[in-house]
A and B are shown apart, each in its own frame.
Chain A
Amino acid sequence: MAITEFYDEMREDGGLVRPHYADVSRWLDDMSTERMARKRAEANALFHRFGITFAVYGEDSGTERLIPFDIIPRIITAGEWLTLEAGLRQRVMALNAFIRDIYHERSILKEGRIPEQDVLGNAQYRKEMVGVQVVHDVYAHIAGVDIVRAGEGEFYVLEDNLRVPSGVSYMLEDRRMMMRLFPELFANNRVAPVDHYPNLLLDTMRSVAPAGQDNPSVVVMTPGAYNSAYFEHAFLAQQMGVELVEGQDLFVRDEIVYMRTTQGPKRVDVIYRRIDDDFLDPLAFRQDSMLGVPGLLQAYRAGKVTLANAVGGGLADDKSIYPYVPEMIRFYLGEEPILNNVPTYRCSDPKQLSHVLANLPELVVKEVHGAGGYGMLVGPTASKDEIAAFRERLTVNPEKYIAQPTLSLSACPTYVESGVAPRHIDLRPFVLSGKDVRMVPGGLTRVALREGSLVVNSSQGGGTKDTWVLEA
């Protein structure tokens, strides 16, 4: 069974083109199949030459693939963006307040708004962070919040990615590609620019430097050239004009972090790290980590270096904590949530589990700690065997799963084998928190290229689109 009812981004129910898509629709109608195919081939060749690729886990090391780029843009109106921006700001502020609270007073637990066990027993909870002061109380400096649209003005947050969210380089490269391939579109539409993202990011990083460092030195830390997101790490370092370091390039002496340069040691103040907590410091976390820096955590706890994102922030983007985010917004900000949360069944609860088991064909089941679209079941599009397999897994390890009703994701016209056809999309805006909360208009739109599919992850055959926010 496929999802047949969905919100079409371009057309109203009667088939009428929505006003903000009018120009793009005409442009699509005027374009011959040959030109479209030629432009797509041109885009692919350019992405290859630029080496804008990602490595796929589980395949031969060094295997690099292109993320398919779709040439039809996804458009968001100025009004919609106002709502989204306000909702994102609110949500990320509440999440940061929550993380701070958990590592300090724990008032939200004391008042019984969230069960203590779900927080303190969580695998992402880091006892090393208790009582540690971080600059401006910011933990999630870079958040990539996954949002889907179910209907007119109806936006749901699927996930708050607060650890090392990726994809922003595709947002920027997709825009560059569109402007290169179809400059005429930008002459006819007032598309809000996104190119200043690296500037905002650098500014955000500098704003959270340890006190007293007037001209802070910022670095991007990568696990190395074979990481799946290496392209993005190199891209961001280059665009910000800062060093791209690996663990072996850094060392700690007397709680100060230095990088090894051809002119001797140079102090480092802010590390935008694209490496998980577990691998940061072999003295504190995984001892077998070859990627980390011995003594880094101690320097961090002493306030001599800033890590972005903070250690232990993954606590708040865990799927088991997700259901409580609206409560956090009410508790810390005294506001009603602007963006919706998807109703979520926690399978660790026997009553909720039995409801889930009884309704598997209608539900989406996800691993609590999973990411990247791996290990998930989309009930309505799954085969009988797949459903049976998940029933088995849920019964054996219920605490590892959550379930949600299947949202009918909105769809956007997409250039596929059969021509132009609607395909389901999501949106990942990137929210920067430092001294202030800032973001560029839009984000990364991911598209599920298989007909009827709701899985947009690039590791699962998803593509990307340029995302436009039209200026009012």
Chain B
Amino acid sequence: MLSRTADHLFWMARYMERAENTARMLDVGYRMSLMPQTEAEVEQNWVGLLRIMSLEEQYRATCGAVDGDKVIRFMIFDPENPSSIRNCLRAARENAHSVRDTLTAELWETTNATWIKVRALTPEILADRGVSEFFEWVKYRSHLSRGVTIGTMLQDDSWRFIRLGTFLERADNTARILDVKYQVLVSEDGGEAADYYRWSALLHSVSAFEVYRKAYRDLISPVKVADLLILNQDMPRSLARCMREVYANLQVVANDRSGETLRRAGELEASLRFGRIDHLLDQGLHSFLDQFMDRIYDLGNRISDDFLISLRAG
């Protein structure tokens, strides 16, 4: 397939996934802010969220002091914020538009309809509908895109580049959520009840609450939460699962210059497949996640170089 087409598909999927994860993070941030706590704690909660997205500086420059409503607006609407939900859904749609001949009618219509809806959304409408409903809507639009992709697209290379985009982005996003929330949560001692709500909010943010119960049949403990989100092969948003998908898809689309990229993906995948949570925690979770995100970033660049940037003649 055309390199440019692969590039658009890859980014279409990444942006859709990013919109979903932004909605997830905002939703959990919003829910946590409703719990009884001090103003400083509330603020810390939102600052943490901006840091996950590496957007704290930009936010302070445009919006000033950290405040829940303003952060939510910034993350949904801000035209200068590349990760705002509106911008993500627009970018997903623009990428889809550039390759609409490659998409099934259903996938194009879904992506286009999502953008048409969000384009019409204003802060006033949002206030009226409630932010939680909107976050839910974004998640379901993303579910719909993914479902339509799986249900209608030919499973050839175009499909694989879509999957690569989805899982690479998701791996990055899950690592970010875990990194920030984990630090905040283990350093605070809010009493048993508050801890329960915070850990369960984190699990809810990655749709893992029921999954946790089912997988561990146990009380919520930080170590097991980390285990679930990092190493559990069956958990669709875990780092291990995302890397398994990335590696499997890379294997199939391989070309004569992608050997090193495949090796690096395989190395990362194997370290998760055979990793142990106590070893990771001994190393320090933050430093592990930091390295993981660097390696994901490196893989993204290498995939671009090997497949997506128009290959030069000869």
Contact = CB atoms under 8 A, between A and B. Distances in A.
Interface residues of A, number: 30
Chain B contact residues: helix, strand, loop or mixed: helix
Nearest to A241: B101
Contacts of A249: 2-4, 310
A112 to B, nearest CB: 48
B264 interface: no
B314 A260 contact: no
A153 interface: no
Contact of A253 (B101, B109, B310, B314): B314
Interface residues of B, number: 30
B98 A225 contact: yes
Interface string A209-243: 00000000000100011000011011101100001
A172 to B, nearest CB: 13
A253 B2 contact: no
B307 interface: yes
A4 interface: no
Contact of B101 (A234, A251, A258): A234
Given A234-B100, A238-B101, A262 B157 contact: yes
Given A249-B3, A259-B2, A262-B253, A235 B109 contact: no
B105 A237 contact: no
B32 to A, nearest CB: 37
B255 interface: yes
30 contacts: A49-B112, A49-B116, A50-B112, A51-B108, A51-B109, A51-B112, A220-B101, A225-B94, A225-B97, A225-B98, A230-B97, A231-B100, A234-B99, A234-B101, A237-B101, A246-B4, A248-B310, A251-B313, A253-B313, A253-B314, A260-B2, A260-B4, A260-B310, A260-B311, A261-B2, A262-B3, A262-B6, A263-B1, A264-B256, A264-B311
A260 B109 contact: no
A249 B4 CA distance: 7
A72 interface: no
A192 to B, nearest CB: 24
Question: Residue among B3, B101, B102, B116 with the most chain A CB within 10 A?
Answer: B101
Interface of B: 1-6, 94, 97-102, 105, 108-109, 112-113, 116, 157, 161, 253, 255-256, 307-308, 310-311, 313-314
Contacts of A235: 101
Interface in A244-286: 244-246, 248-249, 251, 253, 258-265
Nearest to B158: A262
Interface in A18-68: 48-51
Given A49-B113, A51-B109, A261 B3 contact: yes
B1 A261 contact: yes
A48 B116 contact: yes
Contacts of A225: 94, 97-98
Contact of B255 (A231, A237, A263): A263
Contacts of B253: 262
A51 to B, nearest CB: 5
Given A231-B100, A243-B1, A262-B255, 4 more contacts: A50-B105, A235-B101, A253-B314, A262-B2
Contacts of B310: 248-249, 260
